[in-house]
Amino acid sequence: MAAETNTKDKSPRSIRRVAVGSVVVIQLLLAAAAFLSGNYLSATHHRNWDLSKNNEFSLSPLTIKLLSSDAVQQREHPIKIIAAVRKSSRHHTRLRAIGEEYARLSKGGIEIEFIDYVIDTDRANQTAEAYDHTFVDDVFVIDARTGDEPAPPEGENATPAASAHIRFVPVEEMLVFRTDGPNQRTQVGYQYEDLLTSSLRGAIEGTPRRFNLLADTSLLQDSSRDPPWETLPTTLRRPN
């Protein structure tokens, strides 16, 4: 009889459905608040992480300094960069990532547009007409003209392309090659940032600076295929 009495005393307790329902509602509200807070923080405090092997998509301190300078961020008219790059190019993904990083770090000082001149022929023709340039190879167009820039001289050079604040940077020049033999070249690296940053600086400054080289011409030798006095102007012309 005692065992039977104990079994009857251990009857199932009633489930407090209202309390359980309240806990579930609170958990859902907290989860929604955490989700919305995470989205808000990611939108207002955006940051990219370069997870590539050699930090290939991270810009150098010199480039970051230029992009954060008043010459870029305090402009009345943003700098326009038009990347005429085919989507089928094996360099498209890399160039797009680097170009977008330039625009992001400039905080509105740079506007970049990617055009596939093979597919988007209408936009490519508009750009080609605006800059008097025919797109046959991948190229970056950097337009740093200002609203108060004087008009180019009249005549055959009276085009926007004649402006000192416009630069054309072929993608082919952004690649580093090694010569293995006659007519045999192997790509061994990239110099995207070097050319983009130097061309961007040159487009902003506009008028090239002048350098005078004094040398004893009697000691100069012209036995090499690329003598230094011809290579030096080309090198200096890139950073304006």
Lowest mean pLDDT among 83-97, 126-140, 166-180, 214-228: 214-228
Q: How far is CA 1 from CA 7, 8, 10, 43, 53, in A?
A: 10, 11, 15, 71, 78
Which candidate, 160, 19, 8, places its Cα nearest to that of 82?
160
CA 71/CA 68 separation, integer angstroms: 8
What's the sign of the alpha-carbon dihedral 182, 185, 191, 195? Answer: positive
Average pLDDT over residues 53-78: 85
Strand 166-170 with 139-143, pairing: antiparallel
The reported pLDDT for the residue numbered 232 is 74
Of the two residues 198 and 42, the one the predictor is more confident about is 198
pLDDT at 220 over 70: no
Strand 110-115 with 79-84, pairing: parallel
pLDDT confidence band for 116 (50 / 70 / 90): very high
The reported pLDDT for the residue numbered 29 is 85
Average pLDDT over residues 85-103: 92
Average pLDDT over residues 34-43: 74
The reported pLDDT for the residue numbered 20 is 67
**Residue 83: beta bridge partners?**
114, 140
3-class SS of residue 24? helix
pLDDT at 156 over 70: no
Average pLDDT over residues 15-25: 68
The reported pLDDT for the residue numbered 207 is 76
The reported pLDDT for the residue numbered 191 is 87
By percentage, how much of the chain surpasses pLDDT 90?
35
Return mean pLDDT, the chain: 79
HEC-encoded secondary structure of 89-116: CCCHHHHHHHHHHHHHHHCCCEEEEEEC
pTM: 0.66
Average pLDDT over residues 155-163: 59
Which candidate, 189, 141, 129, 194, places its Cα nearest to that of 165?
141
